[in-house]
Amino acid sequence: MTISDSPHETTPHETSPLETIPLTTIDGKSTSLADLGDKVFLIVNVASRCGLAPQYKKLEEMQKTYGDRGFSVLGFPSNQFLQELSTDDAIKEYCSTTWGITFPMFEKVKVNGKNAHPLYAELTKAPDSSGKAGKVKWNFEKFVITRDGAVHRFRPTMQPDSPEIVALIESSLPIG
């Protein structure tokens, strides 16, 4: 992530606290946002048995459309709303076979409360378009982190390919 006067030029920056939070992939590997590179991220708390699960298809389409330009969807399964499969292996299998997911997936996390994953503890400080921060409302809440480290929040029912999200992502990526 970098600080930028223009969405198409980047300059070195100081490390954002979000970049250094330890993350664990669905395969059990340790990583962080910094390790994933200087990208625009769309972070989503996902759940396999949620009525919003068809958003996986649009998330994967966005990964394929923008992935080569410095963008990545990051999926964080959560059973906090009691709609996720019981094991990371089952989640991985479901995402692969049902939706053909190629974007990075992470181990199951809590997104709310005192045991919320540190990444979500930070992300939920960001307000949505109505100015409300705080708890994740439901599965498939979306957070876009632009290269300048700004966090933009979109509630669960907003589709990943909505004009607001697409415009934000496109304006944050190099022309390509």
Catalytic site positions: 50
Helices and strands: H and E segment counts in the chain? 5, 6
Long-range contacts of range 50-58, CB-CB < 8 Å, 24 or more positions apart? 50/81, 50/83, 50/84, 50/138, 50/139, 50/140, 52/138, 52/139, 52/140, 52/156, 52/157, 53/139, 53/140, 55/140, 55/159, 55/160, 56/95, 56/98, 56/99, 56/101, 57/99, 58/159, 58/160, 58/161
| CA dist., res. 136 & res. 80, Å (int) | 10
